[in-house]
Amino acid sequence: MNTQYQIKQLGIGGILDQAVQLLKNHFGLFFGIVAVTMIPAQVFLGLVQTAIATPEQIQANPSAAIVPIALSLVVAIFVFPLANAAVIYAVGSSYLSRPTSVGDCIKHGMKRWGALIWTSFLMTLAIGLGMILCIVPGIIFAFWFALAQEVAVLENSSGSDALSRSKLLMKGNIGTLFVMSLILGVINFLIGLGAQIIPQPHVSVIVQAFVQGFVTIFGTCALVVFYFSVRCKMENFDLQLLAEAVDDV
């Protein structure tokens, strides 16, 4: 198998270890993607909010919130899904030792943008309705569909097919994801805490954008490794890769 990583069923420690290795080995690629997509958008949005929509300004003039809200919707619909798809593709390619570049990843992200938007919409709708029903169904749906975005990008699926595929992959793996999510949540909180206490608002906005970029790529690394670990457990994906490597010899 032509790869430098452990592509097999992994425990939580193994998943996080592989995520760290990916981050160290391909940080330039991953950060390059968020540096030209997510970070500029977040900095611009934060600076606009700091300039014209502080809590005091909104209290004095509620219409001051309209511009930041509109910009937030644009970023949420166009920029974040593109960045997310590009980073998922970059991590997946790197984990499988398939060379790629920032440009190639963004191009692939653009191709999968519509599929990711539709998949994310259905996922959010299902989780939201589950929360309204009595919270527990929403939590269950969140775990069932946790890999839907990875499926949409790496398997060229979308919508209900991606959700069904994610539910199938998550069968028997919710406990692992739950513990891993707690660990990542603590890490993200500790990393982001320093940026939030910076007193200078403009500096704080910039630092928070960079921190969010880092948190995004590390979380994606962990989820993509988890995705392949689950596939190795349920579908012998590691043996499929080995067979392909033998065929290529």
Question: 89-129: per-residue pLDDT in tens?
Answer: 999 999 999 999 999 999 999 999 999 999 999 999 999 99
Distances from the Cα of 246 to the Cαs of 2, 79, 96, in angstroms?
10, 40, 15
Return the pLDDT at 198. Answer: 82
Number of domains in the chain: 1
Residue type, 28: G
On whether residue 145 sits in a domain, the answer given is no
- For residues 2 and 245, the answer to whether their CB atoms sit within 8 Å is yes
Please tell me the predicted confidence (pLDDT) of residue 64. 66
171 within some domain: yes
Q: From the CB of residue 24, how many other CB atoms can be counted at a distance below 10 Å? A: 8
- Percent of the chain at pLDDT above 90? 67
pLDDT of 88: 97
Question: Looking at residue 103, what is its pLDDT?
Answer: 97
Query: How far is Cα 49 from Cα 53, in angstroms, rounded to an integer?
Result: 5
User: Which regions in the chain score pLDDT beneath 70?
Assistant: 1-3, 53-54, 64, 242-249
- Is residue 128 assigned to a domain? no
| DSSP states of 103-137 | HHHHHHHHHHHHHHHHHHHHHHHHHHHHHHHHSHH
Asked if residue 99 is part of any domain, the answer here is yes
- For residue 148, tell me if it sits in a domain: no
At residue 247, the pLDDT reads: 45
Examine residue 230 and state whether it is found in any structural domain, yes or no: yes
Please choose, from the candidates 107, 65, 60, 99, the residue with its C-alpha nearest in 3D space to the C-alpha of residue 82.
107
Residues in CB range of 67: below 8 A, 6 or more apart? 48, 52, 53
The tokens for 17 are: 């270890």
Residue 202 lies in a domain: yes
Q: What residue numbers bound the domain in which 169 lies? A: 12-112+164-248
Is 190 within a domain? Answer: yes
User: How many angstroms separate the CA atoms of 211 and 39, rounded?
Assistant: 9
C-alpha to C-alpha distance for 133 and 122, rounded to whole angstroms? 16
